[in-house]
């Protein structure tokens, strides 16, 4: 068996049609690979390759049709890249002896006829052509999707889906993540993933849906939740640990009473040396669940800091911008993205614990009371925000389908189906990618 290289068209209705399957003989091709870090930083990275073929045909009309088929595919690839609509064009490659073909999306290309191609070779119905294309800088299996086994407190290496909650606490099975182990994916380069989220909560779900992906930290040992009741209130703030509230993560929270127009420490958390080492200098978006009790929350400003201590005089290693919370139905607030530990400490050995401080400043100085449920350290190696196009709610019994494999938009589909009922969400953020030989964790 020789190496096989072809261009595949996947039409809008899902059927396939291949080019270069009409008497084309592969003369020369050297596949390139991009560095994994490049693909990590930019999943849409591309590279340029060329291959030389000998085209043969029964007559000149068939020879012209063969060349036109390839050129038309490249025109459609450019259109697909620009408009995200229409047929999808892939490069398929199966090395000699390989059990499965691999594919990579083509975004552009051209065909050049070789020397004497329109002379005696054309008359002899044999023409050498140099085909050059631009494709994504990664390969994926072309024969079928591979369902990856998932693990959390509700199951280990389980296929067919795994239950997640909208919080993560000490209650058995109440995890808002799934984890994919080392053996979940083979290969050497990242590939895009298809994510399906099934709403079996018993009711329709409104609002935005966030998905965060951890890849390059110590996934198994990084605690991504800081419970509010484990914090320490600032010197000018009255903090009361509360328990027995089923509406709060872990059944508890920290009630915080404060006032004043001067910025002050609201609450502080200890970042242990184990947490700092597991974070590995990656970036994390801080999501806080804050329940306002008295006073308007959109009239305060919050800021994240990382310091050496929250007691007495402290050295600031990271000072984030002040963020003004905007009222929302889920009481979830994005407080910015930070590097943990801060850059100057990434390569330090024997990292000592640090303090993560949340400061507050009131616009009018008036007193306010809030309940801090938790802070979530959300990894952003990959992340997605699904925002409903209108006041649409995610219906109970339906799937939200983010099809990164076929570069489709986010659809609502009947559970277990591929039939789209409509594009009710717009997706933002970096595509979710699967990385070989690394633990991966997705946090919802």
Q: What is the pLDDT of residue 411?
A: 67
Compute φ and ψ for 100, nearest 5 degrees. -135, 145
Q: What angle do CA 343, 346, 349 make, to 5 degrees?
A: 145
Nearest C-alpha neighbor of 189 from the set 437, 440, 432, 442: 437
Average pLDDT for residues 102-110, to the nearest whole number? 93
* CA–CA separation, 438 and 93 (whole Å): 25
pLDDT of residue 73: 93
Q: What is d(CA 60, CA 290) in angstroms, rounded to the nearest whole number? A: 72
The three-class DSSP label of residue 24 is strand
Strand order in the sheet with 425-428: 155-158, 150-152, 177-180, 440-443, 209-214, 382-388, 425-428
- The closest alpha carbon to 21, from 69, 64, 61, belongs to 69
Element holding 373 (H helix, E strand): strand 368-379
Q: Evaluate the CA torsion angle 205, 387, 370, 355 in order and state its sign.
A: positive
The answer to whether the beta carbons of residues 431 and 404 sit under 8 Å apart is: yes
Q: Please tell me whether residue 251 adopts helix, strand or coil conformation.
A: helix
The reported pLDDT for the residue numbered 325 is 84
- Segment 348-362 shows an average pLDDT of 82
CA-CA distance, 289 to 210, in Å (whole number)? Answer: 14
Q: Which position has the higher pLDDT, 347 or 90?
A: 90
- In the chain, where the domains are located: 4-141, 145-215+381-444, 217-379
| Cα gap 291→272, rounded to integer Å | 27
Strands 209-214 and 225-227: unpaired
Predicted local confidence at residue 438, as pLDDT: 60
Average pLDDT over residues 173-180: 90
Span 317-340, pLDDT tens digits: 889 999 988 766 678 899 999 999
More confident: 442 or 97: 97
- For residues 100 and 1, the answer to whether their CB atoms sit within 8 Å is no
Reported as a pLDDT band with limits 50, 70 and 90, residue 406 is low
- Would the pLDDT of 346 be above 60? no
pLDDT of residue 134: 96
Percent of the chain with pLDDT over 70: 87
pLDDT tens readout for residues 279-308: 988 999 999 999 999 988 889 999 999 988
How sure is the predictor about 100, in pLDDT bands with cuts at 50, 70 and 90? confident
Count Cβ atoms below 10 Å from residue 12 Cβ, excluding itself: 9
Q: Which DSSP symbol is given to 141?
A: E
Segment 127-170, tens digit of pLDDT: 888 999 999 988 887 767 788 889 999 999 998 899 998 888 88
Count other C-beta atoms under 10 Å from residue 8's C-beta: 20
Assess contact for 185 and 435: CB atoms under 8 A. Answer: yes
Mean pLDDT across the chain, nearest whole number?
A: 84
- The architecture of the domain spanning 217-379 is Sandwich (2.60)
**Residue-level pLDDT at 74:** 95
CB–CB of 198/160 below 8 Å?
Answer: no
Q: What would the pLDDT profile of 213-255 be if each residue is shown by its tens digit?
A: 988 888 888 999 999 999 999 999 999 999 999 889 989 999 9
At 280, list the tokens: 């590995």
377-402: per-residue pLDDT in tens? 999 988 888 888 777 788 888 888 88
Name the nearest CA neighbour of 376 among 199, 236, 219, 225. 225
Structure tokens at 58: 């029964």
CA gap 16, 63 in Å, rounded: 22
Q: pLDDT digit string (tens) for 364-378?
A: 989 999 999 999 999
**pLDDT for residue 305:** 92
Structure tokens, 219: 């996934």
Q: What is the pLDDT of residue 63?
A: 83
Q: What does the alpha-carbon distance between residue 197 and residue 444 come to, in Å, rounded to a whole number?
A: 10
The answer on pLDDT for 1 being more than 90 is no
In a 13 Å sphere around the CA of 265, the CA atoms on its Cβ side amount to 23
pLDDT at 345: 58
Can the peptide bond before residue 375 be classed as cis, meaning omega within 30 degrees of 0?
no
More confident call, 192 vs 262: 262
CA dist list (Å): 234 to 296, 306, 324: 20, 14, 19
Q: Could you give the angle at the alpha carbon of 329 between the alpha carbons of 324 and 331, nearest 5°?
A: 55
Asked whether the beta carbons of 305 and 357 are under 8 A apart, the reply is yes
User: Average pLDDT, stretch 118-131?
Assistant: 76
Domain covering 4-141 in this structure, CATH number: 2.40.30
Q: What are 3-51's pLDDT values in tens digits?
A: 888 898 988 777 787 666 555 788 889 888 777 777 767 778 899 999 9
Is residue 442 pLDDT above 70, yes or no? no
Q: Which residues contact 247 (CB under 8 A, 6 or more apart)?
A: none
What average pLDDT does this structure show over 258-270? 94
Within 10 angstroms of residue 86's Cβ, the number of other Cβ atoms is: 14
Which of 444, 433, 423, 437 shows the shortest CA–CA distance to 85? Answer: 423
In the predicted structure, residue 444 carries a pLDDT above the cut 60: no
Per-residue pLDDT at 123: 59
Please give the pLDDT value at position 253: 95
């Amino acid at each position: 068996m020789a190496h096989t290289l072809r261009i595949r068209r996947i039409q809008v209705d899902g059927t396939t049609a291949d080019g270069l399957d009409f008497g084309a003989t592969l003369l020369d091709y050297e596949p390139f690979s991009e560095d994994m870090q490049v693909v990590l930083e930019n999943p849409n990275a591309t590279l340029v390759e060329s291959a030389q073929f000998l085209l043969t045909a029964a007559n000149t009309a068939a020879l012209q049709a063969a060349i036109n088929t390839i050129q038309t595919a490249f025109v459609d690839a450019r259109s697909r890249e620009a408009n995200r609509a229409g047929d999808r064009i892939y490069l398929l490659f199966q090395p000699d002896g390989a059990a499965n073909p691999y594919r990579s999306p083509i975004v552009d290309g051209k065909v050049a006829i070789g020397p004497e191609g329109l002379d005696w070779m054309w008359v002899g119905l044999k023409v050498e052509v140099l085909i050059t294309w631009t494709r994504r800088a990664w390969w994926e299996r072309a024969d079928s999707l591979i369902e990856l086994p998932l693990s959390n407190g509700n199951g280990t290496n389980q296929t067919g889906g795994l239950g997640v909650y909208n919080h993560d606490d000490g209650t058995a099975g109440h995890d808002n993540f799934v984890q994919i182990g080392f053996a979940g994916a083979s290969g050497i380069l990242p590939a895009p993933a298809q994510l399906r989220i099934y709403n079996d909560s018993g009711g329709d779900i409104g609002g935005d849906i966030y998905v965060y992906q951890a890849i390059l930290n110590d996934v198994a040992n990084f605690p991504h939740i800081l419970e509010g009741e484990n914090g320490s209130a600032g010197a000018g703030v009255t903090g009361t640990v509360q328990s027995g509230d089923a509406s709060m993560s872990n059944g508890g929270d920290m009630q915080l009473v404060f006032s004043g127009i001067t910025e002050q420490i609201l609450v502080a958390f200890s970042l242990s040396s184990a947490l700092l080492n597991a974070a590995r200098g990656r970036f994390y978006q801080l999501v806080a669940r804050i329940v306002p009790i008295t006073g308007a929350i959109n009239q305060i400003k919050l800021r994240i800091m990382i310091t050496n201590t929250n007691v007495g005089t402290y050295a600031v290693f990271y000072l984030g911008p002040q963020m003004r919370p905007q009222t929302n139905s889920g009481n979830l607030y994005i407080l910015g993205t930070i590097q943990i530990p801060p850059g100057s400490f990434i390569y330090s050995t024997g990292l000592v614990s640090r303090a993560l401080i949340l400061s507050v400043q009131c616009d009018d100085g008036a007193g306010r009371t809030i309940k801090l449920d938790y802070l979530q350290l959300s990894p952003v190696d990959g992340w997605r925000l699904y925002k409903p196009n209108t006041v649409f709610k995610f219906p109970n019994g339906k799937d939200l389908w983010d099809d990164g494999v076929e570069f489709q938009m986010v659809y609502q589909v009947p559970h277990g189906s591929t039939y789209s009922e409509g594009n009710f969400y717009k997706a933002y953020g970096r595509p979710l990618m699967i990385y070989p030989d690394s633990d991966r964790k997705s946090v919802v």
